[in-house]
Amino acid sequence: MITLIKNAKVYQPECAGVKDILLIDGKISTIGENISLEIKNAEGVLVEIDGSGMVAIPGLIDPHTHLLGGGGEGGYKTRTPEAMLTDFTTAGVTTAVGCLGTDGVTRNMISLLAKAKGLEEEGLSTYVYTGSYHVPPVTLTGDVMKDFLLADKVIGVGEVAISDHRSSQPSSQEFRRLSADARVGGMLSGKAGIMNIHLGDGSRMLELILDTVENTEIPITQFLPTHINRNPALFEEGIRYAKGGGYVDFTASKDPEYWEAEGEVRTSKGIKRMLEEGVSPDQFTISSDAQGSLPLFNEKMECIGLGVGKSDTILPEIRSCVLDLGIPLETVLRASTANPARILKLTSKGRIAPGFDGDLCLLEETTLELDTVLCKGQIMVRSGKPVVLGTFQQG
């Protein structure tokens, strides 16, 4: 299949101006001006898309999702449903990284890996973290390093919970050993070996990570702590952590005004603040916690309500950064494209450049509303509507 996008304003994520983009067999082949093709019997082989009045951006990478579903903190009926293909594609997400959360008992790594492979067969690019909240981790093989070596989709460990009443309360020694296994497993397999860390509301915040960095040889870049904006105190600590060279991950919420009232720092406002504080735009990412539960607890830590995270929260926060807060699009785009690709070592993702996967989104230039999504060169969304459905979404 050959796809030619004409006259779109290209953000690689750096702005490259108005260009044509040629995709061949799922890869970006050429970016240039006035690209023209003459193909005999081109019907069904060549698809041309008019990108006039649009911006072309790399497909979004969601580095923290619950493909298999999550939750369960309020009992059996609070286990959240599995993700469907269009949950991601209609959100502009072309790559998703799945993990287990609180529940590593009724959900397991074999099921998560199978779910990731199923979504890949439907057109989405998927990866997984091995483990769950718990330490020692739930794994595929019984050994973190073997998981890296034997399962192509395993790129990190997570989401390991710290500073949270739902964590397994790992000791510093347990946490250091798991971090070391992740690092060496990543090295042996040529992968990131990232430690994706769930941060709760506890007062210890990033303490276990900082202890590991200060008292071992493991670098701060081995960790990607998520939910950094869940409360003001943690966010302030996150600024200091990022200034010290660490990566942080914002969780984008469906109802940002509600969550702000509950004490969360809105993603777009948090990004602006970090940039104002001198944090490099290369130090942070945005994820959705898609299909994960959003439990609400009272002062006794009893679950009193539950919501479900959605991947369609990322693009609105990017839009808010640009349209409401005046942050350049090419700056904030890094958080959902080039940054997660670099941090997670997804070498064919996160950029519009020759040789990279044909993962692209076309947005309306003035509103940044989603129009078209391509996953590895295949058109998944057109005019904001899905044109490819998941296996059980058809009919």
Residue numbering of the annotated binding site for substrate: 71-73, 102, 133, 166, 230, 293
> Residue 288 in contact with residue 250, Cβ under 8 Å?
no
Q: For the chain, how big is the Rg over CA atoms in Å?
A: 20
> Residue 27 in contact with residue 328, Cβ under 8 Å?
no
Map residue 357 onto helix, strand or coil.
Answer: strand
Residue 289 bears catalytic tag: yes
Rounded distance, CA 350 to CA 189, Å?
21
| Residue (of 254, 283, 279) closest to 267 by Cα position | 254
> Residue 88 in contact with residue 384, Cβ under 8 Å?
no
Copy the structure tokens of residue 225: 């702590």
Helices 207-215 + 172-189 axis angle, to 10:
70
Annotated binding site for Zn(2+): 64, 66, 198, 227, 289
Annotated binding site: 64, 66, 71-73, 102, 133, 166, 198, 227, 230, 289, 293
Rounded distance, CA 197 to CA 200, Å?
10
Residue 213 burial by CB count (10 A; 0-12/13-18/19+): exposed, middle or buried? buried
In angstroms, the first-to-last Cα distance of the chain is 26
Residue 52 burial by CB count (10 A; 0-12/13-18/19+): exposed, middle or buried? exposed
Among the options 103, 147, 164, 289, which is catalytic?
A: 289
DSSP state string for 280-343 = -TTSEEEE--BT-B--EE-TT--EEE--B--GGGHHHHHHHHHHTT---HHHHHGGGTHHHHHH
Backbone angles phi, psi at 284, to 5 degrees: -135, 155
Backbone angles phi, psi at 233, to 5 degrees: -65, -45
> Residue 102 in contact with residue 71, Cβ under 8 Å?
yes
Name the residues annotated as catalytic. 289
